[in-house]
Amino acid sequence: MNCPMEHRKPETLVAYAAGELDGETAASIERHLRVCPGCRLWVAEQAALWKTLDIWEAPAVSADFDRRLYRRVAGEVRLSWWERLTRTLRPMPLRQILPLAATACLLLIASFLVQQPDQLAPPHPGAGLVRADQVERTLDDLELLRQFGAGNQVEAPHADTM
Amino acid sequence: MGVAAAALDYDAELMLRVKDGDGVSFGLLLEKHRVPVIHFLYRLVQESAVAEELAQEVFLRVYRSRSSYEPTAKFTTWLFRIATHLGLNWLRDGKHERGLERLDYNSTDVPIHQISDRRASVEQQLVSDAKLAEVRLAIAALPEKQRAAVLMHKYEEMEYSQIARVLGCSESAVKSLLFRAYETLRARLAHMGR
């Protein structure tokens, strides 16, 4: 009872049992079945399964199916842009939404920077003056400290005399 | 599928008319494919109310996609691809487990003629219901791709090439899927064919 279908694809038997093969291929299978009890049994069982599966009938479609659908189709026209966007994104997994959100953020930042070019422009000349003032003040402080130090040195001999 | 081949697909032509704003063509597509889509989804999710709800979503998505529609594949392939995607997603969400627990086969999912057939005796009806329950459970127990392939092949009579496009695999992979699925079903339902 070993199946000689090892010489060809066993899937061919499914197609044969379903009546899907062309005349020539079906004839070659029939020739094979005459000499192969294993395949004959397989085809008989497949035919029985086919009949068994036929007992499962689907129920009738609801009478208002079309009406419900057309009502939803009509509702499509009235959707706002935000509802359309959220509906598009809803079935997307997080790993697809995150890159989109990151890109949107980058675009927002880029557009913000483009609209405010002065923020990136080099500092205006006034900025240099501020720094000169600071340097001048620092030099004054140093001069004061130097004078203070010099004063200490003048007073030092008094200490020696004591 | 090239443009020339697509020209032979009347459904694709209708869909292109829908794209141009022709609502009547959408109605024709709905009329032609409503029942096969609902029946396919019903056998996939095994709940008639859910199947109809999912089918509504399928046709709604077809309508929404009208402006971007290009006839790159057979219309039914596209349609069943959407249906399979929605049906399998529903099953993956685990909502079906609740449904399978209450498969009593006396619900409204049973075809009306089976209930109203007064000639059938109570005993015959019980045997018939039990057989039906076994078939449904055997198909529900198949891995999801095998299940979808069997439903498209056996009940919707779709070609291997079309099933392959719907499931996104090769034709030989579909043949192999079907062979394995039928082997499983034969083993499980063998006693019913005797």
CATH of the domain at B25: 1.10.1740.10
B105 near A CB under 8 A = no
Chain B residue with minimum CA distance to A43: B186
What is the distance between the alpha carbons of residues A53 and A75, in angstroms, rounded to a whole number?
Answer: 40
Q: Nearest CA of chain B to the CA of A45: how many Å?
A: 7
The residue among B76, B102, B128 that closes a domain is B102
Specify whether the backbone of A44 is left (phi greater than 0), alpha (psi in -120 to 50) or beta: alpha
CB contact under 8 Å between A58 and B42, yes or no, is yes
B112 near A CB under 8 A = yes
Q: Does residue A44 or residue A10 have the better pLDDT?
A: A44
Q: Does residue A38 or residue B35 have the better pLDDT?
A: B35
Among the listed residues B112, B189, B193, B181, the one whose alpha carbon sits nearest the alpha carbon of residue B151: B181
B187 near A CB under 8 A = no
In a domain, residue A139? The reply is: no
CB contact under 8 Å between B131 and A57, yes or no, is no
- CATH of residue B190: 1.10.10.10
Q: Tell me how crowded residue B176 is: count the other CB atoms within 10 A of its CB.
A: 18
| Minimal Cβ distance to A69: which of B43, B59, B154 | B59
Q: Structural domain tally of chain A?
A: 1
User: Which residue reads 């675009």 in tokens?
Assistant: A107
| Residue B100 confidence (pLDDT) | 53
Lowest-pLDDT range of A95-104, B22-31, B91-100: B91-100
What is the interface size between A and B, counted as CB pairs within 8 Å?
A: 91
ipTM exceeds 0.85, yes or no: no
B1 plus B97 within the same structural domain: yes
Lowest-pLDDT range of A70-79, B44-53, B135-144: A70-79
User: Which residue reads 């008319």 in tokens?
Assistant: B17
pLDDT at A130 over 80: no
Dihedral angle of Cα A31, A36, A41, A43, to the nearest 10 degrees? -30
B3 plus B67 within the same structural domain: yes
Chain B residue with minimum CA distance to A72: B60
pLDDT at A28 over 70: yes
- Residues 157-176 of chain B whose Cβ lies under 8 A from any Cβ of chain A: 172, 175-176
Structural domain of B151:
141-194
Average pLDDT, chain B: 86
Arithmetic mean of pLDDT, B73-91? 94
Arithmetic mean of pLDDT, A113-132? 58
Q: Structural domain tally of chain B?
A: 2
B8 plus B95 within the same structural domain: yes
The residue among B74, B102, B130 that closes a domain is B102
Q: Does residue B193 or residue B172 have the better pLDDT?
A: B172
pLDDT at A62 over 90: yes
B69 plus B150 within the same structural domain: no
Arithmetic mean of pLDDT, B92-111? 57
| Residue B62 confidence (pLDDT) | 95
pLDDT at B90 over 80: yes
| Residue B107 confidence (pLDDT) | 47
What proportion of chain B, given as a percentage, has pLDDT over 90? 68
Confidence of residue B165 (pLDDT cuts 50, 70, 90): very high
In a domain, residue A44? The reply is: yes
B2 plus B94 within the same structural domain: yes
What is the distance between the alpha carbons of residues A11 and A14, in angstroms, rounded to a whole number?
Answer: 5
Arithmetic mean of pLDDT, B69-94? 92
